[in-house]
Chain A
Amino acid sequence: MRPEFGIVMSHAPGLSQFWETMPAERRAPLAAAYAQLRADLAEMQPDVIVAFINDHFRSFSLAAYPAFCIGLGDVHDVPMAGGDAILRMPQRRFKGDPELAHHILESVMNDGFDPAFSGELNFFDDLSVPLRHLYPPDAALPGVKIVPIMINCIARPLPSMRRCHDLGIAVRRALDRFPGEPRRVVVLGTGGISHWVGMPRNGDINVEFDRKVIELVEQGRAEEMLAWTDDEIENQAGNGALELRNWIAAFAAMGQYVPRPLGYVAALEAITGSAAIALDAIDVPGVAHAARGKGAAL
């Protein structure tokens, strides 16, 4: 099976904490983007979301920090205990997909990756804020299952952008080889774009950098980001932009897709240049909704 739809979108605590109190002109572009994504998901009715995300020192510590970690749990509490008060959103219990998660783990291991694995990850804004907007908590809990794949984006040295790209390819191969009952799969990559978290430039946003990233994605040139060093990314767009790894892995897991940028705003309340881009699959037989976007295919 192949992913039928993809999403890359920013995460930040403030996109939940201050969502209701943000000035309307800043909320509107993101609100419209999230509404479009909800409509796309409602149309597709995915069975599972394979989510490339990163830990925020809630699951791991510098005592031991894995480059990659696959969540094998049968349930995922989103957000983690205590995260609900900080992020100002209710905790919900999503289902995991242990069968698919185990398969992905073993498949990528056969392809030369050795990820950590976890029966219980602690989710903060990384997964919780995107799910808050994709599946709002005031509606019934969706049946969609989550397979989280964590990439180290916060404790340098990080797995290289190239390595994250290759992990995405390995996950795509794993999906293709899945021997179980086929699922309708969405690939999600969260984080970025520019933000300086806890650094002396905390609060800055580099709109020019953010627009360059979106332009590269829109033009089918996302792989050009693989040549960027982490020092270059951090100097230009902050440590938070290193989370673009999650996007890179998602692009690779999608394979061929048509990018459909939906919205961007320099969300000052969330100290983050915040974007959302849909990735319409173009090589999935029989998927009617594919390729409705515009832009260049990879």
Chain B
Amino acid sequence: MKGYRLSKALQENNSPPKMKQFVADLETMRARYELSAEEADAIERADLTRLYELGANPYLIRFAFRDKFEN
């Protein structure tokens, strides 16, 4: 199921404050959610397009990175 672990990580950290904490403790979170290096990197860089390409559900990208969207 493409993007499952990534989507799970975003759903359980579904707001900008939670995502900020996630990135502050990236290695722990990467291990907890069994993310690939590429997935963790996309989260760290808040690369919204890459997250989408990696299969994260776009609704979950929106919620977790609400502060990174222009609108």
* A262: interface (CB < 8 Å): no
Question: Are A202 and B49 interface neighbours, CB within 8 A?
Answer: no
Residues from chain A with a CB closer than 8 A to the CB of B48 are 198, 200, 202
What's the nearest-Cβ distance from chain A to residue B36, in Å?
A: 17
**Within 8 Å of chain A (Cβ to Cβ): is B61?**
yes
Q: Per a CB cutoff under 8 Å, which of A61, A197, A271 touches B11? A: A61
Binary interface profile of A, 86-101, with partner B (CB < 8 Å = 1, else 0)?
A: 1000000000000000
- Contact present for B1 and A62 (CB under 8 Å): yes
Query: What are 8 A-B pairs with beta-carbon distances under 8 A?
Result: A56-B63, A62-B57, A154-B57, A196-B58, A198-B52, A202-B58, A202-B71, A203-B71
User: Contacts A57-B11, A203-B69: A198 and B49 contacting too (C-beta < 8 A)?
Assistant: no
Q: Could you tell me if B71 and A200 are in contact, using CB atoms closer than 8 angstroms? A: no
Q: How far is the CA of A56 from the CA of B15 in the complex (A)?
A: 13
B58:A199 contact, CB within 8 angstroms: yes
Are B11 and A198 in contact, CB atoms less than 8 angstroms apart? no
Range, interface on chain B: 20 to 34
User: Known: A57-B14, A61-B8, A62-B1. Contact between A198 and B60, CB under 8 A?
Assistant: yes
Interface centre among A56, A86, A197 (most CB of B within 10 A): A197
Partner of B59, one of A56, A86, A203: A56
- CB-CB under 8 A from B61, the residues of chain A are 198
- Answer whether residue A10 sits at the interface, using C-beta atoms and an 8 A cutoff: no
List of A residues within 8 angstroms of B69 by Cβ = 198, 202-203
Chain B residues with CB under 8 A of A128: none
Shortest CB–CB separation between residue A194 and chain B, in angstroms? Answer: 14
B70 within 8 Å of A (CB atoms): yes
CA distance A213 to B69 in the complex (A): 27
Do A57 and B71 touch (CB < 8 A)? no
- Shortest distance from the beta carbon of B26 to any chain A beta carbon, whole Å: 21
A57 and B8 contact, CB distance less than 8 A: no
How many angstroms between the C-alpha atoms of A154 and B4 in the bound complex?
Answer: 14
A239 at the interface (CB under 8 A from B): yes
Asked if A225 CB lies within 8 Å of chain B CBs, one says no
Bound state CA distance, A200 and B53, in angstroms? Answer: 10
Complex partner residue of A63 from B8, B15, B49, B52, CB under 8 angstroms? B8
Beta-carbon contacts under 8 Å, A39-79 to B: 56-57, 61-63
Against A, the Cβ 8 Å flags (1 = close, 0 = not) of B49-68 are 10010000111111101000
- CB-CB < 8 A to A196: which residues of B? 58
Q: How far is the CB of A296 from chain B (nearest CB, A)?
A: 35
Which of B11, B49, B59, B65 is the one whose CB lies under 8 Å from A200?
Answer: B49
**Of B15, B49, B71, which is in contact with the most chain A CB atoms at under 10 Å from its CB?**
B71
Which of B11, B15, B61, B62 lies at the interface centre, i.e. has the most chain A CB atoms within 10 A of its CB?
B62
Kindly state whether residue A290 has any CB partner on chain B within 8 Å: no
Chain B residues closer than 8 Å to A269, beta-carbon distance: 71
C-alpha spacing A198/B10, complex, angstroms: 12
**A202 near B57 (CB under 8 angstroms)?**
no
Q: Are A154 and B59 in contact (CB under 8 A)?
A: yes
Residue A268 at the chain B interface, CB threshold 8 Å: yes
Contact mask for chain A residues 176-206; partner B; CB cutoff 8 A; 1 contact, 0 none:
0000000000000000000011111011000
Question: How far, in angstroms, from A132 to B26 measured CA to CA in the complex?
Answer: 39
Q: Of all chain A residues, which has the CB nearest B5?
A: A62
6 additional contacts (CB under 8 A) given A62-B11, A203-B69: A57-B60, A154-B57, A198-B57, A199-B52, A203-B70, A203-B71
